[in-house]
Amino acid sequence: MNKVMVTGGAGYIGSHIVRKLAESGYYVLSLDKAPPLRIEHERIIEYTIDLKNTVELDKLFKENTDIECIIHCAGELGIKRSFLEKELFYSENVYAMDCLLNAMIQNKIHNIIFSSSAAVYPNSNKPLAEGTVLYPEYMSPYSLSKYIGEEKLRSISSQYGINYIAFRYFNIWGCDLYNPSIVKKYLEIDNILPNLINVSNRNNSIIINGNDYDTVDGTCVRDYLDVRELARLHIMALKRLTSSGWAHDLNGVYNAGSGNELSVFQLINIFNHITGASMTPIYAERRNGDASYLCANIEKTRKTFSWNPQINYEELISSLWNANSI
């Protein structure tokens, strides 16, 4: 029996990974401090546990001695909010990870996939590769917490025999439509596509932060990856990480993006075309911490995991628009 533990399993990304794992034949322990989603599948067991509760966490490990890998998705999200709640972000993203790593070491779990973020990267005007020089002193509290997580894994991997992959997520969007509660959860996220869908139900304008960036049309340019493709990437990475062919020098960071770039203004135009809406942007001041351009060079990820992400903006937007209209 191949068991995989997913932290943050009731969250947006974690829940998609949990379901994809079960569909791929894995038995999944889904952990979250939030109430479970009650995903109905015989291979999924959901637990309500805070990672900082080390007694309960260790007990769970002791009861499941055949865990093959941990996929660590749990944590607080949001650059803007992290400036206002620094202590919370340190507690949930750094201290909680310390608790998890300690439990792994004590219980001899040797494989982990970590949800990091492309927010660790500095400003750039070209696709970013994993070897880009980072500047922790200029990072937001959120970005810094992810960078610290990567550094912890790098520093302990040799000493304790831990194999790891740290995926730097770019802009993850979209939603599997198998469960209405998942769609509802996605549409509550403060991100561009949910905002477009929600605002279009009320009026025809959306606030865009900044139109004076040095980009193709003055708005931010991003790399958007379908969450279903991200879940598929985790399955491919898990199989490679736990195989006999995984070598210590493969441990490290990998970009999780589509390799494509799209400006906010271009995305609004695609949204209008697909849905028949007539959304118009209202421009406001830039947000603290926003990069003008944040897109991925995915050659390392493509080569290591034989992964070629499928990109279909039209299908993704159309399916969510129709699901929201039901």
DSSP letter for each residue of 176-226: -TT-HHHHHHHHTS-SHHHHHHHHHTT-SEEEEE-S-SSSSSSS-EE-EEE
Task: Give the structural domain span for 199.
Answer: 180-223+258-325
CATH of the domain at 302: 3.90.25.10
- Mean pLDDT for the stretch of residues 16-34: 95
Instruction: Determine what percent of the chain is predicted with pLDDT higher than 70.
Output: 98
Residue 113 sits in the same domain as residue 198: no
Q: Is the pLDDT of residue 179 over 90?
A: no
Residue 219 sits in the same domain as residue 235: no
More confident residue, 322 or 130: 130
Give the model's pLDDT for residue 104.
97
Residue 314 sits in the same domain as residue 201: yes
pLDDT digits (tens, 9 = 90+) for 123-143: 898 999 999 999 999 999 999
> How many Å apart are CA 113 and CA 236, to the nearest integer?
12
Which residue type sits at 14? G
CATH of the domain at 64: 3.40.50.720
Q: Is the pLDDT of residue 326 over 60?
A: no
Tokens 């791929």 correspond to: 24
CA distances from 90 to 12, 142, 166, 168, 210 (A): 21, 8, 18, 18, 29
CA angle 176, 116, 149 (to 5 degrees): 145
Q: Is the pLDDT of residue 84 over 90?
A: yes
Give the rounded distance of the alpha carbon of 291 from its chain centre. Answer: 18
- Place 287 in a pLDDT band, splitting at 50, 70 and 90: confident
CA distances from 4 to 9, 30, 44, 126, 317 (A): 11, 8, 10, 36, 31
Neighbouring CB atoms inside 10 A of 287's CB total 11
Residue 13 sits in the same domain as residue 104: yes
Residue 78 sits in the same domain as residue 207: no
> How many Å apart are CA 127 and CA 38, to the nearest integer?
39
> How many Å apart are CA 258 and CA 290, to the nearest integer?
20
Q: Find out whether 13 and 7 touch, Cβ atoms under 8 Å.
A: no
Residue 300 sits in the same domain as residue 190: yes
In terms of residues, how long is the chain? 326
Of the three residues 235, 256, 277, the one that is the final residue of a domain is 256
Domain count across the chain: 2
Residue 20 sits in the same domain as residue 134: yes
Residue 34 sits in the same domain as residue 147: yes
- Place 325 in a pLDDT band, splitting at 50, 70 and 90: low
Q: Is 92 helix (H, G, I), strand (E, B) or coil?
A: helix
Q: Is 34 helix (H, G, I), strand (E, B) or coil?
A: coil
Residue 290 sits in the same domain as residue 306: yes
- Mean pLDDT for the stretch of residues 69-77: 97
> How many Å apart are CA 27 and CA 279, to the nearest integer?
44
Residue 142 sits in the same domain as residue 279: no
Of the three residues 208, 233, 256, the one that is the final residue of a domain is 256
> How many Å apart are CA 185 and CA 321, to the nearest integer?
15
Of the three residues 205, 232, 256, the one that is the final residue of a domain is 256
Give the model's pLDDT for residue 252.
98
Residues 6+ apart with CB under 8 A from 88: 76
Residue 146 sits in the same domain as residue 11: yes
Residues 6+ apart with CB under 8 A from 303: none
Residue 166 sits in the same domain as residue 109: yes
* This model's pTM is above 0.85: yes
Tell how many helices (H) and how many strands (E) occur in the chain.
Answer: 12, 14
DSSP annotation of 126 reads: S
